[in-house]
């Protein structure tokens, strides 16, 4: 009995001192940071539910520890950076050393997973998938899908009109979510017609973004990386037998069925050549089924060891690309519209200037792509709203693929680097009166550091769908603001409450609409 007790004490002591040694990783390198817990590191502070998103916790740490500090996400060593010169090295100058992202704890290996998508992929696989995806977001293709986007916006405006000229406020963010889900389902999945407030994808898409990050299935792989594959299989098995609903898995199944049906229809010669507006059909499924990559450069700068690289996109990859664009196209634009609407409701004079610009350049009911480019003040409004409320801030991260340095800090292969976007966007040395919504600050944009603003990421991995997001957001603002004023109501928040996990969104954007 005594021997057993001594053995247990010995094992516990060894584990304690081992994790204590691991917890000192950054301090041994002269880098400060919050005190990590044994095994967990700082992960419990980051995954404490949706009421205080991880990006806001990181910003609080930045206030205390400065522009460079270290944390531990379980087994992961993470350097948090808000120094813009170091970030320029990270995203641009030393991209070949940091071309991989910091992935979700349950994510599969991006070098070997057959259905990897462009967001998770790295090295030659990322480069190939990015090249295959780029044509979907070309200016020429955006012009083709503009009528579809415009129709969905018109339907959304008809829905919100019922809330105009009443004393009751409403959450406009909900309507933006319906709009962006409708648009991306039509242009990515080939959905026919509009299905706002009746969309089959919406429940599962929302579920992906509202999933709790502090579940045991998420936390364990952070602490014990060797259990990652096992935990992922457990989650998928529970989902398969209905024990635990996994929105991501349900959404993947929906997309797999849609791609399978399209492929079978094409094999039968039933491919639709035009959409409901008489334009050439250009949804992402067909684009991805058709496309072939350019030949792979044998002298590619990325290490391709262990990676399977094909010239043509596989069916698994088609499904994965549609999945990631469905998720990204829904969330980012809906949130950006909500943030811009909140800022305009709080700044009536700015809103009036936007409306004057719309009245000058967008006279006809149908808006052209060329007219969108003339709305320069609206561009400033959107950019300023995104400065205050950056999108996908937690996704601005990298993993070191080859040992190097950032600034004066030595970074070992396998170390993660997390950009603190919020701290950069609110840095008083970069932005005068950073808490203030001031679109006119963008008049002197050329004097600003390249990495002072990056809500869509930076460098070669900048969001591929950025132009689509801008087009959709500007169309929605045009259609709303030329008919209505967005007005702050008595119950409109003084400051938006942000919620979420890996992705941040407003809890609500409560406003009223008044006819102009």
Contact 431, 387 (CB under 8 A): yes
- Rg of the chain over CA atoms, in angstroms? 24
DSSP-derived letter for residue 367 is P
Choose among 384, 372, 380: nearest CA to 432.
384
Q: In 389-493, which residue ranges form alpha helices assigned H by DSSP?
A: 421-425, 466-481
Three-state DSSP at 69 gives strand
3-state secondary structure 97-139: HCCECCCCCCCCCCCCCCCCCCCCCCHHHHHHHHHHHHHHHCH
Classify residue 494 as exposed, middle or buried by CB count within 10 Å of its CB (0-12, 13-18, 19+): exposed
Whole-angstrom distance, CA of residue 104 vs CA of residue 120? 9
Q: End-to-end CA distance of the chain, in Å?
A: 84
Q: Calculate the CA dihedral of residues 121, 126, 131, 133 and round it to 10 degrees.
A: 0
A 10 A CB-CB count for 16 gives 12
DSSP secondary structure code for residue 496 in this structure:
P
Using CA of residue 242, residue 246, residue 252, residue 255, what is the dihedral sign?
positive
User: Which parts are annotated binding residues?
Assistant: 463
Residue list, annotated binding site for heme: 463
CA atoms of 236 and 242, how far apart (whole Å):
10
d(CA 366, CA 363): 8
Q: What 8-state DSSP symbol labels residue 91?
A: I
Q: Which residues of 269-291 are buried (b: 16+ CB within 10 A; e: fewer)?
A: eeeeeebeeeeebbbbbbbbbeb
Q: Is the dihedral of CA 160, 164, 169, 172 positive or negative?
A: positive
- Alpha-carbon distance of 214 to 216, in angstroms, equals 7
Helices then strands, counting H and E runs in the chain, come out as 18, 11
| Alpha helices by DSSP H, 315-394 | 315-346, 348-361, 369-373, 376-388
Angle, CA of 494, 508 and 376, to the nearest 5°: 75
Among residues 389, 393, 391, 383, the alpha carbon closest in space to that of 441 is found at 383
Are 413 and 403 in contact, with CB atoms under 8 Å apart?
A: yes
């Amino acid at each position: 009995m005594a021997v057993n007790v001594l053995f247990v004490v010995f094992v516990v002591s060894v584990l304690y001192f081992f994790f204590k040694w691991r917890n000192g990783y950054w301090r041994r390198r002269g880098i400060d940071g919050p005190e990590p817990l044994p095994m967990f590191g700082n992960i419990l502070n980051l995954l404490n539910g949706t009421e205080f998103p991880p990006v806001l916790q990181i910003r609080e740490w930045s206030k205390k520890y400065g522009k460079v500090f270290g944390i531990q996400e379980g087994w992961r060593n993470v350097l948090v950076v808000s120094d813009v010169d170091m970030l320029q090295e990270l995203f641009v100058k030393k991209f070949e050393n940091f071309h991989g992202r910091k992935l979700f704890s349950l994510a599969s290996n991006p070098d070997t997973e057959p259905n990897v998508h462009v967001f998770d992929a790295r090295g030659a696989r990322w480069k190939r998938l990015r090249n295959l995806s780029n044509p979907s977001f070309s200016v020429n293709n955006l012009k083709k899908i503009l009528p579809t986007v415009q129709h969905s916006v018109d339907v959304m405006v008809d829905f919100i009109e019922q809330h105009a000229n009443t004393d009751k406020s409403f959450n406009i963010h909900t309507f933006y979510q319906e709009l962006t889900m409708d648009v991306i389902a039509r242009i990515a999945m080939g959905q026919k017609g509009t299905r706002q407030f009746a969309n089959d994808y919406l429940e599962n898409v929302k579920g992906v973004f509202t999933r709790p990050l502090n579940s045991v299935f998420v936390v364990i792989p952070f602490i014990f990386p060797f259990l990652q594959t096992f935990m992922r299989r457990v989650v998928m098995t529970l989902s398969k037998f209905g024990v635990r609903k996994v929105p991501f898995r349900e959404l993947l199944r929906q997309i797999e069925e849609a791609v399978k049906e399209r492929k079978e229809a094409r094999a039968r010669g039933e491919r639709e050549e035009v959409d409901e507006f008489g334009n050439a059909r250009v949804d992402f499924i067909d684009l991805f089924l058709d496309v072939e990559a350019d030949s792979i450069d044998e002298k590619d700068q990325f290490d391709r060891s262990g990676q399977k690289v094909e010239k043509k996109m596989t069916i698994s990859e088609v499904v994965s690309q549609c999945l990631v664009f469905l998720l990204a196209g829904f969330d980012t634009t809906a949130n950006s519209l909500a943030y811009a609407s909140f800022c305009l409701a709080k700044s009536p004079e700015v809103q009036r200037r936007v409306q004057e610009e719309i009245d000058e350049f967008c006279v006809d009911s149908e808006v052209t792509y060329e007219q969108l480019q003339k709305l320069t003040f609206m561009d400033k409004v959107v950019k300023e709203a995104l400065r205050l409320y950056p999108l996908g801030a937690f996704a601005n991260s990298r993993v070191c693929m080859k040992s190097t340095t950032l600034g004066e800090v030595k970074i070992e292969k396998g170390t993660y680097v997390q950009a603190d976007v919020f701290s950069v966007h609110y840095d008083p040395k970069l932005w005068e009166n950073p808490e203030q919504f001031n679109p006119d600050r963008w008049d002197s944009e050329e004097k600003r550091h390249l990495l002072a603003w990056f809500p869509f990421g930076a460098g070669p991995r900048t969001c591929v769908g950025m132009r689509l997001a801008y087009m959709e957001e500007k169309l929605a603002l045009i259609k709303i603001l030329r008919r209505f004023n967005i007005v702050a109501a008595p119950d409109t928040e003084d400051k938006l409450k942000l919620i979420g996990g890996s992705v941040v969104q407003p809890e609500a954007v409560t406003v009223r609409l008044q006819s102009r």
